[in-house]
Amino acid sequence: METVHIEGVELHLTEPDEVPMTWVGQPDLVTQVQAAWLVIGEEDFPLNPRLIGKPGVGKTTLAYHAGRSLNKPVYLFQATMDTRPEDLIVTPVISEGGTIKYMASSIVSAMIKGGVAVIDEGNRMSEKSWASLAPLLDNRRYVESVVAGIKIKAHPEFRLCTTMNDDASTFELPEYIHSRLQPQIYIDFPERDEELLILRKNLPFADEEILEYVVEFLQAAHEADERYSVRDGINIARYALKRVISSEQSTSGTKTSATILNYLKEAASLILDEGAINYFNDLLDEMSDEQ
């Protein structure tokens, strides 16, 4: 574990996140995030974009991909209702020898290393927690750790982004934080072709027929303003595929379109709800009418 010394205090840094996240489609959104991070002069400083959209539309993936595309280390911080100011900055822990070790958060580690910090689901945090980051989000670009008694300045290459679900905010952002998290970039459900590409990227081992059925389900759900996301579609397809494979192994039978749809229907019942099942019932009815 890497350590640094700031004002005589030893900080233990966290490692950047290495996760298989790749943004598929909508390249303009990547450009918007990276443009917000651009610095165009000595007196300029980067903005802190806020990615807003329904759960499962890929906000975290977009932020991670945008950072990695710039060859920066990316640090993910999962915000919760219980997030405390010290969780965002420096946390003291008792070492094996009984002494206190100061652990830098992923945000502070990104600040020191010049990486990208992604605060995931930031509207779950209270104003008190956000207030501790206020000087980081403007041209001061530092945080203060009351626990360690030090001020930590951000590396010039440090960038920050937060994601927020637009369905139900646990806390309302105070205006002074709201103005510091700009621009607001809205992420909507992808178009059919993009959604199919996302499914193929995440499920390269899946039959095309399964993916086509899942896309039909998702597109119909989006049109009806349902909350179902491509993440839900990936989970449904993954479970249905496992059921198809296990059935073939146990019975050595061949799968039919009706069998696949029934497994997708079963997956929808276990992963989502009655409303999702109805979409697959409609697909089954359509198939029966065509025969």
Question: What 3-state DSSP class applies to 16?
Answer: coil
Q: What percent of the chain has pLDDT over 70?
A: 95
Q: Kindly report the length of the chain.
A: 291
CA 81 to chain centre: 17
DSSP-derived letter for residue 135 is G
Q: pLDDT by residue (tens digit) across 112-154?
A: 999 999 999 999 999 999 999 999 999 999 999 999 999 999 9
- Among 270, 254, 273, 171, which residue's Cα sits nearest to residue 209? 254
Q: pLDDT by residue (tens digit) across 191-208?
A: 999 999 999 999 999 989
Which residues, in sequence order, are bridge partners of residue 52? 164, 186
Mean pLDDT of the chain: 91
Return the pLDDT at 110: 98
Return the pLDDT at 252: 58
Return the pLDDT at 115: 98
Q: How many helices (H) and strands (E) does the chain have?
A: 11, 11
**Would the pLDDT of 168 be above 70?**
no
Return the pLDDT at 249: 66
**Would the pLDDT of 21 be above 60?**
yes
**Would the pLDDT of 72 be above 90?**
yes
CA dihedral 92, 132, 144, 112 (to 10 degrees): 80
Q: What is the pTM of this model?
A: 0.88
Q: pLDDT by residue (tens digit) across 208-217?
A: 999 999 999 9
Q: How confident is the model at residue 251 (pLDDT cuts 50, 70, 90)?
A: low
Helix ranges restricted to H, 2-114: 27-37, 59-69, 85-88, 106-113
Q: pLDDT by residue (tens digit) across 238-249?
A: 999 999 888 776
